[in-house]
Structure 1
Amino acid sequence: MATLLHLDSSALFEGSTSRDITAAFRKAWEEQHPEGTVVYRDLAAAPLPHISGAAITAGFVDEADRSPEQKAAAALRLELVEELERADAVLIGAPMYNFTIPSSLKAWLDQVIIMGRTGGDTPSAAGTPVTVVTSRGGSYAPGTPREGFEFVTTYLEKVLGGMLGLEVDFIIPELTLARAVPAMADLVDKSDASRAKAYEDAAAKAKALATRLAA
């Protein structure tokens, strides 16, 4: 049966739009794969260490000659890489923080990108479909005043698709702060519509992906 690798990175554990939408995707996925496997990492609740000098240099040292720090760092990277390589599909919750992704998600990316294995000419997980739920408090859609400040999809397209060779798809609920910020009161309806569409997209994409993988 298919394996889904599910990552959440929102620092909010309640009231998080990205967590709510990834949960909806996962629920629809599990309904299609009741005997399947979900590997879950909450990158906010259990943060991974940022890439270290030991982690970087370990790849250039024979295993027998590595220091204890290099061995530990290499073992963690191998664990994370193998989770990615075993996954039939990946689900990532990536809210926008200060125009880009949470540092907890960046830490995961830095750990799993290993040139010559997951990155390079023949990435080991190439072709794996990844669905990214990227929520944001305002709107950064084409034609909006802050279109040029959007560094979530633009970055993740390059790193997930360009470096890891994954097949990237996005679900983008916007204007999530409309009900909390008085100045955004006129945008509540648009916020609600965007959230509703995100739920619909999550269910539809999960079911479509499940059908595709079962074919």
Structure 2
Amino acid sequence: MTLFRLDASILPGTSASAELADAAEAEWTAAHPGGTVTRRNLGTEPLPGDAWAAAVLGSFTPEDQRTPEQQAAAALGAELAGELRAADAAVIAVPLYNWGVSQHFKTWVDLVIASAGPTTELLKDKPVVLIVSLGGGFAPGTPREGWDHATPYLERILRDVWGADLTTIRRELTLAAVNPAMESLRDLAAEYHTQALDAASAAGKGLVRA
């Protein structure tokens, strides 16, 4: 059995999304002590920013005429898509940055699609836990309602494009503990934290059952 885990935080030592991913992974690992966890951290080991363009241009170029950059980009895309194909389950942990997904995460998605094609269901019927951490509050009725442009995109790619059996875990107000302007929200943030950890553990058990 193989679990694919992707992290996208640029601050792994204090990452709220990684903490929740750890909780989900722990449940899977406990049930599969001999299993394999394939890891990719886009925050600490970002993909080349120009690789997607090289992969796309290379796909329109006869193989014997591709540049070394195009060949390398195609190989990288095939490697990334292969990690998803080989997985029996996945945990995808992505922070909200500037109200959307980060450039390094988008590069990963684009390279996978460039390699596998836009309609290939790489995760078809596989259990996937999506973890999204958000520094502020985006719940209905808050001033920033509707500003989270990451979660809908992530769900669209993982569930609707790649066919995953998806469970989404969100934790909001992750910056309340360190931002003085959010001091009044710290009790609520702590409640969200506890709820998210419980949900991540439950989702990890869901990976095992599936």
Q: Partner of 1:33 in structure 2?
A: 32
* In 1: Cα distance, 2:194 partner to 2:77 partner: 37
- Residues matched between the structures, number: 209
Q: Which amino acid aligns with 1:66?
A: R
Q: Which runs of 4+ in 1 moved over 6 A?
A: none
**Structure 1 residue 210, shift from structure 2 partner:** 0.5
User: CA RMSD of the aligned region, Å?
Assistant: 1.7
Alpha carbons 1:118, 1:124 under 8 Å: kept: no
SS of aligned partner of 1:41:
strand
* In 1: Cα distance, 2:74 partner to 2:37 partner: 24
Name structure 1 gaps, 5 residues minimum.
none
* In 1: Cα distance, 2:136 partner to 2:79 partner: 36
Moved more, 193-202 or 136-145: 136-145
Q: Partner of 1:81 in structure 2?
A: 81
* In 2: Cα distance, 1:181 partner to 1:206 partner: 30
- 1:157-185 residue CA offsets vs partner (Å, 9 max, x unmatched): 22222222223321111111112122222
Q: Which amino acid aligns with 2:85?
A: E
* In 2: Cα distance, 1:52 partner to 1:100 partner: 19
**Structure 1 residue 80, shift from structure 2 partner:** 0.6
Query: Normalized against structure 1, the TM-score is what?
Result: 0.90
Alpha carbons 1:138, 1:175 under 8 Å: kept: yes
Q: Partner of 1:192 in structure 2?
A: 190
Name structure 2 gaps, 5 residues minimum.
none
- 1:15-40 residue CA offsets vs partner (Å, 9 max, x unmatched): 21111111111112101111111000
Q: Which amino acid aligns with 1:26?
A: E
Distance 1:125 1:119, change over 3 A: farther
* In 2: Cα distance, 1:70 partner to 1:137 partner: 37
* In 2: Cα distance, 1:191 partner to 1:173 partner: 9
SS of aligned partner of 2:133:
coil
* In 2: Cα distance, 1:130 partner to 1:104 partner: 20
* In 1: Cα distance, 2:121 partner to 2:23 partner: 29
**Structure 1 residue 111, shift from structure 2 partner:** 0.9
Q: Show the 5 A alignment for 1:101-180.
A: 101-114=101-114, 117-120=116-119, 122-180=120-178
SS of aligned partner of 1:72:
helix
Q: Which amino acid aligns with 1:141?
A: A
Q: Partner of 2:72 in structure 1?
A: 72
Q: Partner of 1:209 in structure 2?
A: 207
Percent identity over paired residues? 41
**Structure 1 residue 118, shift from structure 2 partner:** 4.7
Q: Which amino acid aligns with 1:63?
A: E
* In 2: Cα distance, 1:177 partner to 1:125 partner: 32
Alpha carbons 1:134, 1:171 under 8 Å: kept: yes
